[in-house]
Amino acid sequence: QGRWEEALCLLREARVDRLDEPDGRALCSSMVACERARKWKAALQLFQETKDWVQRNDFLCSTAVAACGRASWWPGALALLAELRENGDAGRFSSNAAISSCTRGKEWRRALAIFEDLLEQLGPDTVSINALLKTLSEA
């Protein structure tokens, strides 16, 4: 289960005590700790509450999308991807995480739509293709 609660406390204490501002790596590590402990809601809450003080990047955003997907909450993953796209924060990593979340939900049509968007905007990578193939094979 890991020590996800301690990771959250350390991150929040650093922020409150105005130590070095926690960066995206620290936030991502804390979110992964939550996710591995199956505390995906805590990971998403942390992602949302830190949007004003941590510079978002695609890797960080993909961690939040993946947390939804690993919890088999594909609607949440797709909603978050849409929000990230609207804000310009989404990229290949978050799209790949959303495709993977569709696998768990047997939502191959939605995965295909994300893949097609990826084709038009950024171009898929090997992870994108493999995630889509897995989704299609498990449909």
Give pLDDT tens digits for 97-122: 999 999 988 999 999 999 999 999 88
Task: Calculate mean pLDDT across residues 63-76.
Answer: 87
For residues 139 and 137, give the distance between their C-alpha atoms in angstroms, rounded to a whole number.
6
Residue 68 has pLDDT above 70, yes or no: yes
Measured on CA atoms in the order 74, 38, 30, 15, is the torsion positive or negative? Answer: positive
What are the structure tokens assigned to 76, written together?
């949440």
Q: Which amino acid is at 57?
A: N
Residue 4 has pLDDT above 70, yes or no: no
Where residue 81 falls among pLDDT bands split at 50, 70, 90?
very high
pTM for the predicted model, two decimal places? 0.79
pLDDT of residue 115: 95
What are the structure tokens assigned to 21, written together?
């501002």
